[in-house]
Amino acid sequence: MRSPYQIIRQPLITEKSTIQREENGTYCFKVHPGANKVEIAWAVEKLFGGKGKLKVAQVRTSLVRGKMKRMGRFLGKRPNWKKAWVKLTPDSAEIQFFEAS
The CA angle 57-61-66, to the nearest 5 degrees, is 160
For the chain, the straight-line distance linking the first and the last C-alpha, in angstroms and rounded, comes to 32
Mean pLDDT for the chain overall: 91
pLDDT by residue (tens digit) across 60-88? 999 999 999 999 999 999 999 999 999 99
Q: Considering the domain delimited by 4-89, tell me its CATH architecture.
A: 2-Layer Sandwich (3.30)
6-36 pLDDT tens trace: 999 999 999 999 999 999 999 999 999 999 9
Which runs of E-coded beta strand occur in 32-80? 56-64, 68-71, 74-77
The DSSP secondary-structure symbol of 39 reads H
